[in-house]
Structure 1
Amino acid sequence: MFLLSTRDGFPKGDNATDTIFHNIHFNASTLNYWNYTYYPINGTLSNGSWCMLMNPPYTPKGILTNGTFINSTWCYLATDPIGDRARAGIGFAVAFALCLIFILVNLKKHGELHLPAEKRFYPIGRRWQWYWSIFVCATALVGLFTGIDVDRYHVVELPIVLNNFFWYLMQIGIIAVVWEGVRHWGSWMERQYIDPNPFVLQQNDKRGMFELWLPIIFYLWLWLNFFLIIPRNWGAIELQRSPEQTIENAIPAATDGRFKAGTFLLFVAWCTIMVSLWHSIRHYEPRNRGFFNRIIGFLGYMPFRFTLMIPLALAVVAYQGLCSWDFGLSPLNAKTNLLAMYLGGYAPTFLILVIQIIAGFMRPNEDRELLRQRRERGQALDQELGVIRKPAWWRRVNGDVSAGSMRDRIMRNVREVGGGRATGREVERLAERRAAEMESDAATRNSGIEMNGIRGANSARGGGIPGSAPPPPPYTPYGGKSDQRRSERTVEAVAGLLFPGASTNTPEGRGRGLEVANEQPRRPGTNERSSSTASGVSTSGPPQQIRSMLDI
């Protein structure tokens, strides 16, 4: 199992059946009977099922005839002190923990809604980059803290598998962070572009369909990378307990074709990010003519944080590909080059998160920014039209403050117009007031602009215009309990005020139909002209005297 194993030749003791491990005597016949083998390279004694540490202070005190050791220590325990790999891992773990706190602050800041949610721009779209950042911090913390036991385990075992399992998940997550940052920036540019005119861009054109399918294509490459790397037999990575095991088992498993293909798919996902960035700049930024001008414009319109994050994401992909070909620089190696491991495996991820956090603190909430842009457009339009709007404090100083909820405002308006059955009550009150004013002013009015004033003056003198209709009778409020009759009486009163020339000779107890000027509708003859707009009033009668709505 290990190099320099001495199954048939244990350290020599006092006789042929005796062996000595660090001044403690053991029965060599019992050890041979239970098929134990001694591995001096790491000081362990194992028979394939049981493994004991033989180095002090963990050396057993003896062995019984049934193969049981006295005061023995299991090989696969964290018995050694932490090393350089664990110390560097703790430092990076603390840094990622601090990043997690600031990421949660940015999630609250940019995830809040200050405008109604739109179907075209879901609120979760702006939060995905922070969700993936939380995922990256969580996987980094788990992987780095389990990496402490890689140094502490005397024999390579499960900790190195957990350390690399979460490291590969972290690599997937950080590429998704960069993607969501670029994708959402394009969505934010589109939102600003269509906010002045929502119909300037269609959703089912080539641009819209391209933006619909591009995220699906990106996550296809990302999940293919996941399925090529994560679901596998990780047990071969643990077989680094001797140089022979490392060469025969660990190196072929860590550099197989699936790791190489996963790196290629991760590079395709990075290229998809670049395509998304190019698409957003092409459609939502001014276009430049000429090849070199387009390159300069591409770099100029791209946010500065992407100028840093995209090369760092490419460094993540490059280091993963390097690990697929060179086992000596891979974190899968228990004795790897720590400088290459932390600078290539963890530093780019950490820097991307730091850039993302700083940019999140510098950028405002998108809803607030959109409100600010709308105010600026409104102010520009007011300046063009010459409109000067008073500031917000002007209403408060002058007492024009709409306090309370919308329900309170509606109830206050209802109370101002009378409350309850507002329409019928107010119409009856106005009709009574108008009828009283007509009776009181009929005798004193000698001239007026409205026709009812002229008629009222003539009636007061005892004369009147020949053929003119008599003044309408005073309005008598309905005292019954029927709301339907009250509405009919109100309509009759208003009709009498508007059309004083048309009398309503219908008794109070008759139906709802009112005949105009007591004439029954008749069907025109064959020689007569028919029109849907013809009046039913005879042309021989006096003209109708229509009152103004201002008199009611």
Structure 2
Amino acid sequence: MGIKFDVFDARDLLAFPGGDNDTDTVFGGVHFNTTTLHHWNYTYYSNRTLSNDSECWLTFPPYEPQLLLTNGSFVNATSCYNSVNPIGSRGYTGIGFSVFFGLGLVLTVTVLAKHGALYLPKERRFYPIGRRWQWYWACFVCACALVSLFTNVDVDRYYLQELPIIVSIFFWFLTCLGTVALTWEAVRHWGSWLERQYVDPNPFIYSNGDRRSQVEFWTPLWFYFWLWMNFFLVVPRSWNFASYQRSPEQTAQYAIPTATGARFKAAAFCLFVAWLTIVFSLRHSIKHYKPRNRGIFNRAVGFIRAVPLRLVLIIPLSLALIAYQAFISFVWEFSIIRFDGVVPVIFAWGFGPSLLILYIQIAYGYASPNEDKELLRQRRERGGMINRELGFIKKPAWWRRVRGDHLGTLRDKIGSNVNEVGGERGVGRRVEDEMERHAREDAARNALEDDGGIELSCIHHADASANPRVDRAGAKAVPTSLPYAGRNERRHTERVVQTAASVLFPSDIETQRAQRAAFLMEIGPPPPPPYTDEQRHEPDVGRPATAQRTNSTSTTRSVNVEPQQVRSMLDI
């Protein structure tokens, strides 16, 4: 009967068909010796197979054995585990679904290449693999579904169920697990994408140690805990019960009790907890990264509007798939484990949600842009908005070519910038225009012509040379304000203004300076005479003129000498 090893049911046993005598039996018109059959422990079963728990042979035409040897082996016999039946509705439907899953696998790989590409530097807060996980799980779902669907062909063709039904059911449960994981990664990454857009204008709007970040850290661990609980309840077990459907009695004794056992019920419950985690993650993302509404009704409406259409479709579909796994753990009649089950229910409810979720994801992948490119577009829009608020108009692309800015290398541009530095203003200051120069000259002229046109600087200088100041002790004071003999008009104007201020508003500062100078002359040799600005520019003997240091802010020399030859950025 094809029941191997420890599986045996007395209700499946039948007596050998009668032959010419007591030691003769007939299978398909061929006579066999019953003594030899009993000697090698062959038993005839109700499914018209002959087996001794190690070998199983078909006994109906045209697959009946032609000869039985004394060593217990048959000649021209057909094993019970051969594909002798034609392909049924389950096999044809599985081939049709496998075509769509195969096409989905190809499209998923292309979408993965599109959304997995990087156009911005990597960030520790948003790893590139985070956006790729949903496509990795989609490839996993396609691969498992293809294996499960193709093996349905042999489920129909095998006369007695063996390995094909086991492989088909095993990979279907993995397909369910992968579909729920695909839904989770789609929802989780949608929230991560919202967060990335939310913090891109201001990276410090949220701290890394708040309650929000803690929830986002522990929620994936919680989800995958229940997902792997489903895996460990379903996968690590003996799957031979799926093949024990070789007779009605064997199905009722072995297959049905195991398929509707507590482990499959608990596995479906674990998937349901994982689905509730998906809904919680969706609500968490909307709460923190979408506009908030007041009132119960407004919050409900805002929640519905905030959820994208893709998630509105795939979340109920994943729940439908979980519901089917829970349903078949109670009802055997519509179970996918049953080899002759109801085909429309098996494929529409068992494989349909996974296929729809897969193609919804593919449509989203082709319709939506790469996230890095979208982020760059949003940054350009924000930059344009800020420029409009500031009144800055960005020049078009042809502007540089009209002005000739595209000509020359970077070294030439640096050299031209260095050659333009000069004039009467100090290096690093803004160049004085004509209007500012006229205003400065008028101010200096008005300062000199005050008090009836008397030039205060000339009076001060003459008085200082004819009658040096004398301090209270009777010692001659060293003049602290010397006449300016340089060519810098700005400094000359400043000296004139200072002299005029000292005459109009006398103070004891000059007296204190004179006393301090007299005290220093009494305790030591007199200090060397102060140098004028022109003397400061005189080079030392033995040193080149370009090597002299000066504190002057005048750039007159920089105009007269040859332009500096720039060799690198370090020379500037």
Q: What's the TM-score once normalised by structure 2's chain length? A: 0.73
Q: Which residue of 1 aligns with 2:554?
A: 547
Q: CA deviation at 1:31?
A: 0.8
Q: What's the % identity of the aligned pairs?
A: 51
Q: Tell me the secondary structure at the aligned position of residue 26 of structure 1.
A: strand
Residues 196, 329 of structure 1: alpha-carbon distance in 2 compared, 3 angstrom cutoff: same
Task: State whether residues 469 and 502 of structure 1, in contact with CA within 8 Å, keep that contact through their aligned partners in structure 2.
Answer: no
Task: Tell me, yes or no, if the aligned pair for 1:3 and 1:243 is still in contact at 8 Å.
Answer: no
Q: Note the aligned Cα RMSD (angstroms).
A: 3.1
2: CA distance, partners of 1:470 / 1:316:
94
CA distance in 2: counterparts of 1:399 and 1:470, whole angstroms: 41
Q: Is the counterpart of residue 128 in structure 1 residue 125 in structure 2? A: no
- The within-5 A match list for 1:304-383 is 304-383=309-388
Aligned partner of 1:171 in structure 2 is 176
Counterpart Cα distance in 1 of 2:533 and 2:197: 57
Structure 2 CA distance for partners of 1:332 and 1:60, relative to 1, 3 Å: same
- Cα distance change on mapping 1:202 and 1:137 into 2, 3 Å: same
SS of the residue corresponding to residue 44 of structure 2 reads strand
Distance in 2 (CA, whole Å) between partners of 1:288 and 1:545 is 66
The answer on 1:13 being equivalent to 2:13 is no
Equivalent residue, structure 2, for 1:441: none
Paired AA for residue 236 in structure 1:
F
Q: Is the 8 A contact 2:12 2:249 kept in 1?
A: no
1:280 matched to 2:280 = no
SS of the residue aligned with 1:329? coil
In the alignment, structure 1 residue 65 sits paired with structure 2 residue 70: yes
Amino acid at match of 2:37: L
2:542 is matched with 508
Which has the larger displacement, 383-392 or 48-57?
383-392
Distance (Å, rounded) in 2 between the aligned partners of 1:286 and 1:468 = 69
Alpha-carbon shift at residue 469 of structure 1 (Å): 8.4
Corresponding letter in the other structure for 2:202 = N
Deviation string 1:75-112 (CA, Å, 9 cap, x unpaired) is: 12222211111111111100101111111121111111
Residue 393 of structure 1: how far off its partner (Å):
3.8
Which amino acid letter does the alignment assign opposite residue 143 of structure 1?
Answer: S
Displacement of 1:508 in angstroms is 3.0
Aligned residues of 1:222 and 1:265 also touching (Cα < 8 A): yes
Tell me: CA distance 1:399–1:62, structure 2 relative to 1, closer, same or farther (3 Å).
farther
Amino acid of the structure 1 residue aligned with 2:295: G
Report Cα offsets for 1:388-415 as digits up to 9, x if no partner: 212224335555448xxxxxx9xx3336
Paired residues, number: 451
| Distance (Å, rounded) in 2 between the aligned partners of 1:394 and 1:546 | 37
* 1:414 maps onto 2:411 in alignment: yes
Equivalent residues of 1:329, 1:341 under 8 A apart: yes
User: For the Cα contact (< 8 Å) 1:499–1:546, is it kept in 2?
Assistant: no
Between the aligned partners of 1:550 and 1:318, the Cα distance in structure 2 is: 89
Partner Cα separation in structure 2 for residue 397 and residue 97 of structure 1 = 55
Q: 2:507 aligns to what?
A: none
Q: Which residue of 2 aligns with 1:29?
A: 35
Letter in 1 for 2:283: W
Partner of 2:203: 198
Secondary structure of the corresponding residue to residue 224 of structure 1: helix
- 1:509 and 1:377 mapped to 2: Cα distance? 57
Query: Is the 8 Å Cα contact of residues 113 and 367 (structure 1) preserved in structure 2?
Result: yes
Q: Which digits, 9 at most, give the CA deviation of each residue in 1:467-506, with x for residues without a partner?
A: 88899xxxxxxxxxxxxxxxxxxxxxxxxxx964326785
CA contact (8 A) 2:49 2:59 kept: yes
In the alignment, the residues of structure 1 paired with residue 49 and residue 91 of structure 2 have an alpha-carbon distance, to the nearest angstrom, of 23
- 2:222 corresponds, among 186, 208, 217, to 217
Q: 2-side partners of 1:545 and 1:380: how far apart?
A: 45
Amino acid at match of 1:212: F
Task: Measure the CA separation in 2 of the matches of 1:370 and 1:216.
Answer: 28
Matched residues in 1 for 2:414 and 2:212: separation?
Answer: 54
The aligned residue for residue 148 of structure 2 is: 143
Per the alignment, residue 90 of structure 1 pairs with: 95
**How many Å apart are 1:283 and its aligned residue?**
0.6
Q: Which moved more, 1:333-342 or 1:309-318?
A: 333-342
Provide closer, same or farther for how the CA distance between residues 17 and 369 of structure 1 changes in structure 2, counting only shifts above 3 A.
same
Q: Hey, what does 2:570 align to over in structure 1?
A: none
Cα distance in 1 for partners of 2:69, 2:414 equals: 104
Q: 1:523 aligns to what? A: none
TM-superposed CA distance for 1:42, in Å, is 2.3
- What amino acid does structure 2 have at the position aligned with 1:508? G
Aligned AA for 1:280?
S
- More divergent stretch after superposition (276-285 vs 354-363): 354-363
TM-score (norm 1): 0.76
Counterpart amino acid of residue 12 in structure 1: G
1:267 pairs with one of 252, 267, 272: 272
Aligned counterpart, 2:54: 49
CA distance in 1, matches of 2:212, 2:258: 44
Deviation for aligned residue 1:282: 0.5
* Structure 1 CA distance for aligned equivalents of residues 189 and 293 of structure 2: 23
Please report how far the alpha carbon of residue 125 of structure 1 lies from its aligned counterpart in structure 2 after TM superposition: 0.9
Structure 1 unaligned runs (5+)?
403-408, 431-448, 450-465, 472-497, 517-543
Whole-angstrom distance in 2 between the partners of 1:304 and 1:93:
26
1:55 is displaced (CA, Å) by 1.7
Which of 238, 242, 245 is the matching residue for 2:250? 245
CA 1:546 to 1:36, structure 2 compared with 1: closer, same or farther past 3 Å?
Answer: closer
Structure 1 residues 151 and 507: CA distance shift in structure 2, 3 A: same
Distance 1:401 1:506 in 2: 45
- The Cα shift of 1:158 comes to 1.1
Structure 2 CA distance for aligned equivalents of residues 227 and 399 of structure 1: 70
Answer whether contact 2:161 2:244 (CA < 8 A) is retained: yes
Partners of 2:88 and 2:73 lie apart in 1 by 32
Q: Classify 1:61/1:321 alpha carbon distance in 2 versus 1 (closer, same or farther; 3 Å).
A: same
1:220-231 pair list within 5 angstroms: 220-231=225-236
Aligned partners of 1:3 and 1:244 also within 8 Å: no
Q: What is the deviation of 1:217?
A: 0.8
Residue type of the alignment partner of 2:31: H
Distance 2:313 2:552 in 1: 83
Q: CA deviation at 1:385?
A: 1.9
Partner secondary structure for residue 535 of structure 2: coil
Unaligned runs of 5+ in 2: 1-7, 423-440, 442-481, 488-531, 560-572
2:306 equivalent in structure 1: 301
The letter for the 1-side match of 2:17 is: P
